[in-house]
Structure 1
Amino acid sequence: ITHNTFTKLVLLLFVLFFFSLPAKLINGGIAGIVGVTCVFPIDLAKTRLQNQRPGQQVYKSMIDCLIKTVRSEGYFGMYRGAAVNLTLVTPEKAIKLAANDFFRCHLSKDGRGLTVFREMLAGCAAGMCQVIITTPMEMLKIQLQDAGRLAAQQRKPGIIPPNRLATTNAVLSRSYNVVPSTSPRVISATQIARELLHSQGIQGLYKGLGATLLRDVPFSIVYFPLFANLNKLGKPSPDAAAPFYWSFISGCVAGSTAAVVVNPCDVVKTRLQSLSKGANEESYNGIIDCFSKIMKREGPSAFLKGAGCRALVIAPLFGIVQVMYFLGVGEFIMSQSSLKLISD
């Protein structure tokens, strides 16, 4: 993505959502904060499982990962990187939902319903818009989440001798304490961002942008049409709104389905965005190189790593998002409309 294209996309987002954004920020913020708080430990397990290589496994499963994380890092170790999500999930969800509404409105003919193709097209456009926030958020979150895996890998006998631990960034390596140190340090997202901006510029925060697009665009293409059609099944009449509990169920089903479908892209994105590597953990030169190396060295099953975790993360998160959105909580708080619990 060029600098000019990036600038135009940012300006477009501001123009599109200026008037409707406050209510959507509230909806996205409430849903995001509640959802992230509930499911973030599962997301942490997903990242660590996806980054494991054959012969260097530290964790056997999601449950094993969470148990070992609590034992070695404490309860709050399961929430490493959560602050980044809690900060950026509000604008991310607001942009995603507002963009989908905007494109659905402009793709509809005379206010009539959209065809499945047009619904997919609107979802595609929404997915392209959200990566402005998603990419740096995921980039910073992954560094914090994966630090514990690297430290645990170092401590495990027979996997990585301390003097052979390799990383792609010396400053991040020292800060993560993934090398022997008498004074452990825990890096923050702010430190990572500052280091990346200093050494690589804004491109440093957007490492893995192509892989993020490859994941989020297909996700939105699957999610929004599937949700819309599932939600229609709960409407008592074509002109009425579905009950809030049906929107929650529809959001959960559509979200988990889309999450599993795009999980191979999420594995590639996670590998590309991981700056610190353990010994014998290869680096990748782009999406195609990453895909081919994973396929050759780990087999097709590697692309399903963390799929169950990701489904468990996405399902309640998007279920809650849709409940907040369709209840109009943000609009109610802004005194723009009444709160609707049941369809009219």
Structure 2
Amino acid sequence: MDGREFLASLVAGGIAGMCVDLTLFPLDTMKTRLQSPQGFYNAGGFRGIYAGVPSTALGSFPNAALFFVTYEYTKSVLDSCVSTKKAPLVHMVAASLGEMVACLIRVPSEVVKQRAQAYPSLGTYKVFVDTIRHEGILGLYRGYGSTVKREIPFSLVQFPTWELLKAVWSWKQNHAVDSWQAAVCGAFAGALAAVVTTPLDVAKTRIMLAKTGTTTASGKVLPVLSNIWKMQGISGLFSGIVPRVTWISLGGFLFLGTYDKVHKVLLQKSSRNEM
């Protein structure tokens, strides 16, 4: 990966992240409140659907930028030493590493955002200050493990599926896919990944919203999933699935379509400037 590809991935990823996170924020709020242990209406219902948006606005660009820089760099390294038959494995490894790095920024942003969504009367700044005061910096990283455990399986499904769908579509039409086609592939890949990983997302939400000192707040995913199963059954494990799948399907369309378009435009401009 050369300098211009690095910059293109950085900027395109950041723009794509902000585009999808801010556009679809109300759906994310609905999903968080449906998954909240206090129930949808007690968590705010349809009121204050933009609660927590400042946290998302600050974290979106660097989070997505870090992901795509890591993803593209890892792909470029592995592609040079792995056969094309193992391309899905390359995409899985690259996406997993990308998520682990991106979560260093995503998790603090998510903690503040979800607490503000579930307790809209507090406001983003007060949530941030209270978290630091009562839990310290580590409080902002509560749920890091559960988030990574959600994001890696999600990426293991989404990105190989996205790359495969693009490759098949490209093969069918005998030329590279257009950005709108990459966006459609992203929507299907995102929807599939969202369905598969919804229980992990529910567990992550419960861990982030749990009161300090409780068993749930310790961040152990399996006990949380077990407790949800005992208390609410299958419906509890898949609570919020409709807004989540809708959000991520639309998000996949916007996120991956925007990334593909901006990335291509930046590389084309860079190429012209070098001529």
Report TM bin, short chain.
0.7 to 0.9
TM-score (norm: length of structure 2) = 0.85
CA distance in structure 1 between the aligned counterparts of 2:159 and 2:261, rounded to whole angstroms: 17
Deviations 1:286-319 (A, max 9, x none): 3233122112111122110111211111122222
CA distance in structure 1 between the aligned counterparts of 2:268 and 2:171, rounded to whole angstroms: 28
Q: 1:116/1:23 Cα in 2 relative to 1: closer, same or farther (>3 Å)?
A: closer
CA distance in structure 1 between the aligned counterparts of 2:269 and 2:18, rounded to whole angstroms: 22
2:195 is the counterpart of 1:210? no
Question: Do 1:28 and 1:89's aligned partners in 2 also have CA atoms closer than 8 Å?
Answer: no
2:243 to 303, 309, 312: 309
CA distance in structure 2 between the aligned counterparts of 1:18 and 1:136, rounded to whole angstroms: 29
CA distance in structure 1 between the aligned counterparts of 2:210 and 2:246, rounded to whole angstroms: 26
Letter of the structure 2 residue corresponding to residue 296 of structure 1: K
Please tell me the root mean square deviation across aligned C-alpha atoms, in Å: 3.0
CA distance in structure 2 between the aligned counterparts of 1:330 and 1:275, rounded to whole angstroms: 43
Displacement of 1:332: 2.6
What stretches of structure 1 of length at least 5 have no aligned partner? 1-15, 60-64, 149-175, 177-185, 339-344
Question: Do 2:10 and 2:69's aligned partners in 1 also have CA atoms closer than 8 Å?
Answer: no
What stretches of structure 2 of length at least 5 have no aligned partner? none
Deviations 1:156-210 (A, max 9, x none): xxxxxxxxxxxxxxxxxxxx4xxxxxxxxx422x333333233333211000111
Residue of structure 2 equivalent to 1:159? none
Q: 1:319/1:86 Cα in 2 relative to 1: closer, same or farther (>3 Å)?
A: same
Displacement of 1:270: 0.1
Q: 1:211/1:238 Cα in 2 relative to 1: closer, same or farther (>3 Å)?
A: same
1:58 to 29, 41, 47: 41
Displacement of 1:245: 1.4
CA distance in structure 2 between the aligned counterparts of 1:303 and 1:335, rounded to whole angstroms: 47
CA distance in structure 2 between the aligned counterparts of 1:246 and 1:204, rounded to whole angstroms: 41
Q: Point out the more displaced range, 309-318 or 230-239.
A: 230-239
Displacement of 1:112: 5.1
Q: SS of the counterpart of 1:234?
A: helix
Q: SS of the counterpart of 1:78?
A: coil
2:52 is the counterpart of 1:81? yes
Residue of structure 1 equivalent to 2:79? 108
2:65 is the counterpart of 1:94? yes
CA distance in structure 1 between the aligned counterparts of 2:6 and 2:119, rounded to whole angstroms: 35
Residue of structure 2 equivalent to 1:235? 170
More helix by share: 2
Question: Do 1:24 and 1:330's aligned partners in 2 also have CA atoms closer than 8 Å?
Answer: no
2:257 is the counterpart of 1:323? yes
Q: 1:17/1:146 Cα in 2 relative to 1: closer, same or farther (>3 Å)?
A: farther
1:201 to 124, 136, 147: 136
Residue of structure 2 equivalent to 1:41? 26
Displacement of 1:335: 3.7
Displacement of 1:87: 1.7
Deviations 1:88-135 (A, max 9, x none): 111111122221112222222458534323322222222222211111
Q: 1:18/1:205 Cα in 2 relative to 1: closer, same or farther (>3 Å)?
A: farther
CA distance in structure 1 between the aligned counterparts of 2:174 and 2:261, rounded to whole angstroms: 16
Question: Do 2:108 and 2:141's aligned partners in 1 also have CA atoms closer than 8 Å?
Answer: yes
CA distance in structure 2 between the aligned counterparts of 1:38 and 1:83, rounded to whole angstroms: 13
Q: How does 1:98-137 map to 2 (within 5 A)?
A: 98-109=69-80, 113=84, 114-137=86-109
Displacement of 1:268: 0.3
Q: 1:199/1:17 Cα in 2 relative to 1: closer, same or farther (>3 Å)?
A: farther
Q: SS of the counterpart of 1:233?
A: helix
Residue of structure 1 equivalent to 2:224? 290
Q: SS of the counterpart of 1:231?
A: helix
Q: How does 1:24-39 map to 2 (within 5 A)?
A: 24-39=9-24
Question: Do 1:267 and 1:303's aligned partners in 2 also have CA atoms closer than 8 Å?
Answer: yes
The alignment of Structure 1 onto Structure 2 pairs a total of residues equal to 268
CA distance in structure 2 between the aligned counterparts of 1:41 and 1:140, rounded to whole angstroms: 16
Displacement of 1:272: 0.4
Aligned residues with identical type, % of pairs: 26
Q: Point out the more displaced range, 125-134 or 216-225.
A: 125-134
2:201 is the counterpart of 1:257? no
Displacement of 1:333: 8.8
